[in-house]
Structure 1
Amino acid sequence: MDQEFHRIKRLPPYVFAEVNAMKAKARAAGEDIIDLGMGNPDQPPPPHIIAKLAEAAANPKAHRYSMSRGIPGLRKAQAAYYKRRFGVDLDPESEIVVTLGSKEGLANLASAITSPGDLVLAPNPSYPIHAFGFIIVGGSVRHIPAKPDDAFLDALERAVRHSVPKPVALVLNFPSNPTAHVADRAFYKEVVAFCRHHGLYILSDLAYAEIYFEGEPPPSLLEVEGAREVAVEFTSLSKTYNMPGWRVGFACGNKKLIAALARVKSYLDYGAFTPVQVAATAALNGPQACVDEVRALYRERRDTLIDGMAQAGWEIPRPPATMFCWAPIPPELAHLGSIGFSKLLLSEAKVAVAPGLGFGEHGDSHVRIGLVENKHRIRQAIRNVKQFLADPGPALARLDADKEAKRAP
């Protein structure tokens, strides 16, 4: 049987796969690759969280099935976090669901609320699940700008006015992966008013709420009056507490959407391992100095990378939040596109980055750089890039020669 499955046909080839294959081949050959491509924290969780995990796992009763919606203590801890951080009161029973990371929550909510042909508005560039979570389940996506400004609001209005069928939901992600844009309360207020008026649900991804560097802490969409009539917000412990592999996140907000997500999840999973949820509760309820330390670590790495790359001849905007730098391809190499540039950077400078095309076609002029190596390794990456950018001509000539060889009969 050689037919292709319908849902798989709607997923394009994974854009990062080609660069990842090159990276694996280089490492297998013994090359030292500095990997700034994946947003994968390199530090362990704080010791008190690991200790709580071990303590909970030592309980013989802790190894049975858990609760799909999350254990009550963890939902209460998330409600307490929203209260102290955002001033938002949430009901742990009806307005919070524990998810297996924010990515799973977004995908399963898309499954719960999307009918074949439904239209969803999502930014471009954006984290892939923001669009493909809906495409996988038969929906369609209309892209809007990624920056929270008047152009975004104008595009939102045009999308509602001219789309057939009418959009059912809008995806937001601020602080943004990959662009690091941050939205303020005034922007959220306008979006909430618009979506309430037009009957659109809002799915807000707030996974980077605690990784910020300048100005006020990023707000929650749920701070806006009336937001819970239309909105659900996703958060995660992955970056805040260096817990990406633990897969703990949350969906909070609109009761109807939370109930829909909980119902779908009840068919799909029994929730995260109970000791993981117990340790996640300790993370939210425990001392928060560790969050300040994570934030300081990324700020220091950000400044090292931005300042060093500027000296190397690569001007990169200084991100106000997230663990990423959204870097425009140097002008003399912009014709390569993000995949070509990423491959050349890997082969010539031994530095791996994420091609911007992987986040949407409007990201093809950029690459995403993750702050996931220590300062020593970042400085090494800067030296390698500086050497490459000083004279990229030979590498470009080799690239052109390779292309000609492939075209030859």
Structure 2
Amino acid sequence: MEATRIKKLPPYLFARIEKKIEEAKEKGIDIISFGIGDPDLPTPKPIIDELCKEAQNPANHQYPSSVGMLAYRQAVCEYYEKTHDVQLDPRKEVVTLIGSKEGIGHISFCYVDPGDINLVPDPGYPVYGIGTLLAGGEPYLMPLLEENNYLPDLAKIPEDIARKAKLMFINYPNNPTGAIATKEFFAEVVEFAKKYDIIVCHDAAYTEMAYEGYQPPSFLEVPGAKDVGIEFGSLSKPFNMTGWRIGWAVGRQDVIEALGRLKSNLDSGQFQAIQYAGIKGLTGPKDSIMELRRVYERRRDMVVEGLNRLGWNLSKPKATFYIWARVPKGYTSAEFAEYVLEKAGVIITPGNGYGHYGEGYFRISITIPDERIKEGIARLEKHLVKVEF
């Protein structure tokens, strides 16, 4: 008999997408997947070379520290100072993660008892709510609405909910909507968190995926942010290292300590050779990131302009590698995704996979080669002709 916490979990969104792709391929269909946001470009060579070098060192084959090598944590601090003008203590305000997903999933176990409440954005990355449920808590959904630029309206959170809440998850630049947040919004979050004694958990996985000269701010750039929360970061997106599983959490000292303490009881840290490779990326020149931005900006333009020719009226997102769009009239999110797969052999992600308020939308990821994007858009133009809203 499965535990109640497992019974409450839905199938993970991307596991369902992978199953659909597999089923279509078995039927001989040439699938173009705009589904999972997994970078298609290679990890920069200097990072791979560093891994290969350090993997030859027998000292790196022993158990690593569960909180990460001090040298790696120092590299994270150097990155924050250089990119965001934020100063961090590598010994007290940084913990190494086996990918940011791991830390996001585990942080609720540090603070949530059965029946406690976390504030969770909807639509949003599913792990915020899943981690809450696994810890025995209840997610309170903060709607991210188009008319509010996909920012939560903190004033609409009921007083009794705010007073009970333990954690608040936010994520900007945002997955799945591509929305961005200003320092003014982050300042509102800090004020709200101080008033209700809430720990803020900011998922900053996409801060390097930005275009036209825009640099998304870190939550920690705002005065008082380190008093109320932490920020999760990842090497997955800026360095095409999704399979390497290396990230960090930084910020409020007692929260970082609690997460590190939990990890010391659950895992044995990340392979040191991978941490050395991460140092190479974090402390090296940003040439590869700038080139990546140029590639994604070009692909973003191809998708947005293609959809707009079909009747959408989309603006070009300033960050992330996602396009978030309404489904045409007469379809639910799932129905439209199924129609596109059946007619065009194209995978898009139904918005309701990201929560209740994602219904009526779909997400496209631009992490596939330009030629496949062109082919995918051509197929949509052939089979959709013109859409209505």
Instruction: State the TM-score, normalized to the length of structure 2.
Output: 0.95
Task: Note the residue ranges of structure 2 that are not aligned, 5 or more in a row.
Answer: none
Residues 255 and 169 of structure 1: CA distance in aligned 2, closer, same or farther (over 3 Å) = same
2-structure distance, mates of 1:233, 1:132 = 18
Aligned residues: 387
5 Å-filtered alignment, 1:170-249, equals 170-214=168-212, 216-249=214-247
2:195 maps to amino acid? H
Check whether the contact 2:100–2:247 (CA below 8 A) recurs between aligned residues: yes
Task: Note the residue ranges of structure 1 that are not aligned, 5 or more in a row.
Answer: 393-409
2-structure distance, mates of 1:260, 1:314 = 46
Residue 53 of structure 1 and its aligned partner are, at CA, apart by: 0.4
Residues 150 and 380 of structure 1: CA distance in aligned 2, closer, same or farther (over 3 Å) = closer
1:175-200 CA distances to partner (integer Å, 9 max, x unpaired)?
00001110011111111012112211
Match for residue 9 of structure 2?
11
2-structure distance, mates of 1:79, 1:40 = 26
Task: Please give the root-mean-square deviation of Cα atoms over the aligned residues, in Å.
Answer: 2.0
Please say which structure displays the higher CA radius of gyration.
Answer: 1
2-structure distance, mates of 1:72, 1:149 = 44
Residue 17 of structure 1 and its aligned partner are, at CA, apart by: 5.0
1:211-241 CA distances to partner (integer Å, 9 max, x unpaired)?
0114531111111111111110001000000
Residue 154 of structure 1 and its aligned partner are, at CA, apart by: 7.9
Residues 337 and 317 of structure 1: CA distance in aligned 2, closer, same or farther (over 3 Å) = farther
Give the fraction of aligned pairs with identical amino acids, expressed as a percent.
Answer: 38
Check whether the contact 2:145–2:357 (CA below 8 A) recurs between aligned residues: no
Match for residue 68 of structure 2?
70
Residue 310 of structure 1 and its aligned partner are, at CA, apart by: 1.8
1:288-337 CA distances to partner (integer Å, 9 max, x unpaired)?
11110111111111001111222234444421110111121123xxx331
2-structure distance, mates of 1:154, 1:384 = 36
Match for residue 48 of structure 1?
46
Residue 49 of structure 1 and its aligned partner are, at CA, apart by: 0.4
Q: Does 1:32 align with 2:30?
A: yes
1:46 maps to amino acid? P
User: Tell me, what secondary structure is at the counterpart of 2:175?
Assistant: coil
Comparing 342-351 with 153-162, greater Cα deviation is found at 153-162
2:358 maps to amino acid? G
Instruction: State the TM-score, normalized to the length of structure 1.
Output: 0.90
Q: Does 1:353 align with 2:348?
A: yes
1-structure distance, mates of 2:246, 2:136 = 27
1:171 maps to amino acid? F
1:123 maps to amino acid? P
Check whether the contact 2:67–2:269 (CA below 8 A) recurs between aligned residues: yes
1:341 maps to amino acid? F
Match for residue 359 of structure 2?
364
Which of residues 255, 258, 274 in structure 2 aligns to 1:257? 255
Which of residues 324, 332, 335 in structure 2 aligns to 1:337? 332
2-structure distance, mates of 1:41, 1:87 = 28
Residues 212 and 63 of structure 1: CA distance in aligned 2, closer, same or farther (over 3 Å) = same
User: Tell me, what secondary structure is at the counterpart of 1:168?
Assistant: strand
Check whether the contact 1:62–1:274 (CA below 8 A) recurs between aligned residues: yes
Residues 272 and 113 of structure 1: CA distance in aligned 2, closer, same or farther (over 3 Å) = same
User: Tell me, what secondary structure is at the counterpart of 1:336?
Assistant: coil
Check whether the contact 2:214–2:318 (CA below 8 A) recurs between aligned residues: no
